[in-house]
Amino acid sequence: MQRVKKVVALWTILSLALAFLPVSPGTEAAQLLYVRDTITDSKPDATATHSIQFTIQTNIPANGSIYITLPSGFNWNGASGSCPWGGTFSTTSEGVRCVALSATNAPATGTVTINNVVNASTEGSYLIYIETRDGSDNVLDTGETRIAIVSGVTVTAHVPALLTFEVRGVDAGTAVESGTTNVTSTTTTIDFGTVDVNTQYLAAQKLVVSTNANYGFSVKVWQNQNLTNAMGNDIDRFRDGTSTLEAWASPSTTPGAEWTYGHFGLRSDDSDVELNFGTNLWTGFSDDGPNYQVEVLRSDRPTAGEGDDQGYGWDYVEYALEISALQEAGDYSNILTYICTPTY
């Protein structure tokens, strides 16, 4: 019984003694808050910029530092970057560091930017580790974050080629570049009617183009023949049977020279076409058929038809007719053909 009491007493004394032994306090780093790494490109083997942001919980004294450990498989040999709080950026064998920080009180949010880091070649989740240290290299705060390396998504879409071309009639009394029309046209006809001598008759048609062609389009027109009657007489091309570009003038009317009895000409109000029509220059078709086309509308970009600017999505082509008293009687006609060619 006495022995038991002695043992109990001894354990009591040891317990009391241990209770009063001094305990050396341990040092444990605090946790960085709100740690994240935003990268500009997450594809394997892509070169990306990393923006690593975090909030410190422990004050950083002057000459403190930040160490960032980058994952194995990444290549930062050519990296450059910037540091918060006045730090100097450099690379290490394990990642990057920012040294010689100015004193910074917690909580404070900082961002380390790392440029020209080549991603790992394998998809997956990768750990990034961050430490803040004091001037004696003691760890203050630690944190970690992850980034995901994933293959890019290929997005495809097919946009079909679109083209709408319209030839519209123009009423008499419409202002065009060379003057005011005195003949009404329709989509398919230009009827000068019964014409008087020594009078210029002016008609127009409105060309309207909508297309998504990258390089725009060209509209050209050609005639199948001069205006010709049943007897084979014709109203020649402007001027006096030639196709010289010049201001409108009346036929020269030389007896025996039938090509001077009357003429038919055209011009475009679009300043971008092949010929420079100015504000009142005219030409005739140099010959008949599709090998002798005259460009009357051009654009070098996609157009929205009548909703676009004049000279791009739409414009006028003008036609003029004038005869002399020597022009043979009869009903004259020809056919005009428009060709709209987009370039995608």
Residues 66 and 206 in one domain: no
Residue after which a domain boundary falls, among 101, 123, 149:
149
Residue 148: what are its φ and ψ, rounded to 5°? -110, 130
- pLDDT tier, 154 (very low <50, low <70, confident <90, very high otherwise): confident
Structural element, H or E, at residue 19:
helix 2-19
Residues 333 and 203 in one domain: yes
Residues 114 and 171 in one domain: no
* Per-residue pLDDT tens over the stretch 77-107: 999 999 999 999 999 999 999 999 999 999 9
pTM: 0.69
| Least confident interval from 218-222, 237-241, 277-281 | 237-241
User: How many whole angstroms separate alpha carbon 109 and alpha carbon 56?
Assistant: 7
Residues 252 and 321 in one domain: yes
CA torsion sign, 255 to 258 to 260 to 261? positive
| Least confident interval from 12-26, 67-81, 179-193 | 12-26
* Per-residue pLDDT tens over the stretch 33-81: 999 999 999 999 999 999 999 999 999 999 999 999 999 999 999 999 9
* Per-residue pLDDT tens over the stretch 141-152: 999 999 999 998
Examine residue 8 and state whether it is found in any structural domain, yes or no.
no
Supply 333's token pair.
């006609």
Residue 266's CB is within 10 A of a number of other CB atoms, namely: 23
User: How large is the average pLDDT for residues 260-268?
Assistant: 97
Residue after which a domain boundary falls, among 94, 115, 149:
149
What pLDDT does residue 90 have?
97
CATH of the domain at 46: 2.60.40.1510
Residues 337 and 260 in one domain: yes
Supply 155's token pair.
């997005």
DSSP code for 305: G
Examine residue 12 and state whether it is found in any structural domain, yes or no.
no
What pLDDT does residue 301 have?
97
Nearest residue to 239 via CA among 281, 204, 268: 281
Residue 286's CB is within 10 A of a number of other CB atoms, namely: 14
Paired with 164 in beta bridges are 210
What pLDDT does residue 155 have?
87
Examine residue 86 and state whether it is found in any structural domain, yes or no.
yes
Examine residue 329 and state whether it is found in any structural domain, yes or no.
yes
Alpha helices in 88-140 (DSSP H): none
β-bridge pairing 30-31 and 139-149: parallel
Residues 217 and 132 in one domain: no
Examine residue 10 and state whether it is found in any structural domain, yes or no.
no
pLDDT at 7 over 60: no
What pLDDT does residue 223 have?
96
What pLDDT does residue 153 have?
86
pLDDT at 21 over 80: no
Examine residue 56 and state whether it is found in any structural domain, yes or no.
yes
Residues 104 and 39 in one domain: yes
Sheet holding 124-133, edge to edge: 30-31, 139-149, 124-133, 64-69, 95-101, 88-91
User: How large is the average pLDDT for residues 171-196?
Assistant: 98
What pLDDT does residue 45 have?
97
pLDDT at 1 over 80: no
* Per-residue pLDDT tens over the stretch 285-313: 999 999 999 999 999 999 999 999 999 99
Examine residue 7 and state whether it is found in any structural domain, yes or no.
no
Residues 122 and 169 in one domain: no
CATH of the domain at 259: 2.60.40
Residues 145 and 184 in one domain: no
Question: Containing domain of residue 36, as a range?
Answer: 30-149
Residues 117 and 175 in one domain: no
The total number of structural domains in the chain stands at 2
β-bridge pairing 95-101 and 108-118: unpaired
Examine residue 250 and state whether it is found in any structural domain, yes or no.
yes
pLDDT at 24 over 80: no
Residue after which a domain boundary falls, among 121, 149, 177:
149
User: How large is the average pLDDT for residues 160-184?
Assistant: 97
Residues 98 and 228 in one domain: no
Residues 54 and 195 in one domain: no
